[in-house]
Structure 1
Amino acid sequence: MAEITYRNASCIYENSDSLAVDSLNLDIEDGEFVVLVGPSGSGKSTALRMLAGLEDIDEGSISIGGRDMTGVPSKDRDIAMVFQNYALYPNKTVAENMGFALKMRGVGTEERRRKVEDAAKVLDLTEFLDRKPGKLSGGQRQRVAMGRAIVREPQVFCMDEPLSNLDAKLRVQTRTEIAALQRRLGTTTVYVTHDQVEAMTMGDRVAVLKKGRLQQFSTPNELYDRPANAFVAGFIGSPAMNLLTSRVVDDGIVIGETVVPVERERISALHAAGIDTVTAGIRPEQFEITEGEGVEAVVELVEELGSESYVYTRIPKSGNQVVARSLTRTPARLADTIRLRKREGTVHLFHPETGERVGD
């Protein structure tokens, strides 16, 4: 069993005034695919390196399979690391690269060849086993790095932005392959990325970090449907959720000069808490362009994607930017004044100062 537990795990770099990872608590189940996501400097790679034994744990603990990893060298943790830059030996063949760690552990030639060939079949690398890395594409090199990890049969895979060096199309293909492979192997995997789309499509659960602190740890659907705070709301989703500073009135919230209805019990909860201004979160797909009533907005950009389009607008008086999705090609043009009406769906409410979810 390879459950992973972070308990108040913290790390601070020398000569730094703030923690790179601040009291991180995570419970990762055996066989689960967990993604750590966040902007640059959020501590996601540091958290992974702490698990792998490449960074010291200054406070708290990390355990794998119930065993405390504090002070345990990286080589004794039974983990396999897949790096962003592949880290392949250019003078060795694909087979030699994949089997090198087994050779260093004293595994016999026959067993080593069998494991390499089995992994190559899984990764569709059989025909490339005698080639050097320089003769492979970026996606093939990444599969070699994956194969090197697989042949070790570790308790845990640690993957640090392994797709960052690939082009957009190959990233989509390779992330599908990695997710499918992990499901087949059932190995507990911790995967780091800055790409929230990658996180949402690959992870069983996703941990969102900001400045070393965990913001929310949940399933992709829960992150999208019920973000814990304004940071998660704005980070998850493409385009991001519209976050608008809005005045609270008896019937809902005011956007521009239009009242957008909100459930009465939620408004009552805000009034009871003395909150008269909120940060309102509304997804782009919840707005539609209309010729009738709605929020007046000026078009700043139209992003045509073929099957749908996104209209980027500015509300004149408040200055708030609002993005709306249209499932048909929109006739709106730059500098047009249009009306946006909210479709059915939740209006997310966040405290204007703390950013925490309120009114539920």
Structure 2
Amino acid sequence: MASITYDKACCVYPGADKLAVDSLDLDIADGEFVVLVGPSGSGKSTALRMLAGLEEIDSGAITIGGSNMVGVAPKDRDIAMVFQNYALYPNKTVGENMGFALKMRGIGVEERKQKVAEAAKLLDLTDYLDRKPGKLSGGQRQRVAMGRAIVRDPQVFCMDEPLSNLDAKLRVQTRTQIAALQRRLGTTTVYVTHDQVEAMTMGDRVAVLRDGKLQQFSSPTELYDRPVNAFVAGFIGSPAMNLFTAPLTDDGVSIGGATVAVPRTALAEIGRLGLDSAIVGVRPEAFTLGDSGEGVPATVSLLEELGSETYVYATVDDPAVRTIDGGEVTLVSRTAVRGPAKIGEQIRLRQTEPTVHLFHPTTGERLGD
């Protein structure tokens, strides 16, 4: 096990006009589970491959356990990689796949068998050691790939979207197993995913990247409660945070003639900056269906019935309130009521929580405390 530090690490691909990873700074503690998340092309996989030695570090540095990895071959970094496509040998049994790396390092047969048996027990693969990968399910194959990494007893696990080939139910089950296993082993782990739900449920801390640049590196709850900019606010959360530009009033922001209250500290900063509008962020759970004419007027456009809760999508008819891209605003609210409204119905969305986020209309940076 070891700590990891990215110190202004950069990577640029030949012929590219911009950096794939741009001055990345991360301090990962010994034994920590850190998730790199972001949209396609954000640099998260490149950052992981730089750690593993599969991509060059063009400037800056990456250290593992205090040792600089610049110029160090992948085989000398004492890391184990788990890939998206499992990368198993189809002609070898589960046991042979798991023990192959040990065999290549000259580990004796008995010691190999012992390490493979221990890893198989951790992963519930003991009954499958004599099977070929073609006779296993997707989840079992992924556990074999995990076992191959575990038997090496590395100081760092690198996982590159290992669950993306699994179906939805199996993804939930396997991500729980991976997170629990990492906590039992205590091995420093860097995990890449494009799925923000995966990131929020698995990581001790989450690094959000965009266009090769780090946006925020915090605990999942901090990302959710205090996003540093509008991009993080819109990326973290399912359904996504309602984000729109709206004119300001003395008490908050005006939406369809109704006022949504915002923190006084944010209003004070807006006054200091001389702004007359801002990007407003409201989580779906901060809105509910109102009555007696209270709340933001809107028209229901979609209902998502999930059994335990319903998400109501409602369009706001206010030319002064637009999306960040200038389009019509559809607000999402969450309610525990089944069948709360009908498509096309006129409703009111009432603010139930004081947590409203404001962001600079030009830079997207968070306003207020």
Aligned to 2:345: 336
> Once superposed, what is the RMSD of the aligned Cα atoms?
0.8
Offset of residue 263 of structure 1 = 3.2
Aligned to 2:187: 187
- Return closer, same or farther for 1:258/1:214 CA change in 2, 3 Å cut-off: same
1: CA distance, partners of 2:67 / 2:171: 35
Offset of residue 126 of structure 1 = 0.5
Please give the TM-score of this superposition, normalised by the length of structure 1: 0.99
Aligned to 2:297: 296
After superposition, residues 1-360 of structure 1 pair within 5 angstroms as 1-292=1-292, 293-317=294-318, 318=321, 319-360=328-369
Q: Equivalent residue of 1:177, what SS?
A: helix
Q: Equivalent residue of 1:302, what SS?
A: strand
Aligned to 2:325: none
1: CA distance, partners of 2:163 / 2:353: 37
Amino acid aligned to 1:264: R
Offset of residue 345 of structure 1 = 2.8
Structure 1 runs of 4+ with >3 Å offset:
none
Superposed CA deviations along residues 269-316 of structure 1, whole A, max 9, x for unmatched, are 211111111001000000010122110001110000000000011101
1: CA distance, partners of 2:232 / 2:264: 25
Q: Equivalent residue of 2:179, what SS?
A: helix
Q: Number of matched residues?
A: 360
Is the 2:263–2:354 Cα contact (8 Å) retained in structure 1?
no
2: CA distance, partners of 1:276 / 1:219: 33
2: CA distance, partners of 1:79 / 1:198: 22
Structure 1 stretch displaced more, 223-232 or 341-350: 341-350
Offset of residue 262 of structure 1 = 2.1
Superposed CA deviations along residues 113-140 of structure 1, whole A, max 9, x for unmatched, are 1000010000000010000000000000
Offset of residue 230 of structure 1 = 0.3
2: CA distance, partners of 1:266 / 1:163: 40
1: CA distance, partners of 2:263 / 2:137: 54
Superposed CA deviations along residues 316-346 of structure 1, whole A, max 9, x for unmatched, are 1233110000111133111111000101231
Q: Equivalent residue of 2:248, what SS?
A: strand
Q: In structure 2, list runs of 5 or more residues that go unmatched.
A: 322-327
Offset of residue 256 of structure 1 = 1.9
Offset of residue 266 of structure 1 = 2.7
Structure 1 stretch displaced more, 255-264 or 177-186: 255-264
Structure 1 stretch displaced more, 260-269 or 86-95: 260-269
2: CA distance, partners of 1:84 / 1:266: 43
Identity of matched residues, %: 72
Q: Equivalent residue of 1:9, what SS?
A: strand
2: CA distance, partners of 1:8 / 1:240: 30
1: CA distance, partners of 2:146 / 2:356: 42
2: CA distance, partners of 1:83 / 1:266: 44
Please give the TM-score of this superposition, normalised by the length of structure 2: 0.96
Q: In structure 1, list runs of 5 or more residues that go unmatched.
A: none
1: CA distance, partners of 2:202 / 2:179: 6
2: CA distance, partners of 1:266 / 1:42: 30
Amino acid aligned to 1:54: L
2: CA distance, partners of 1:64 / 1:86: 25
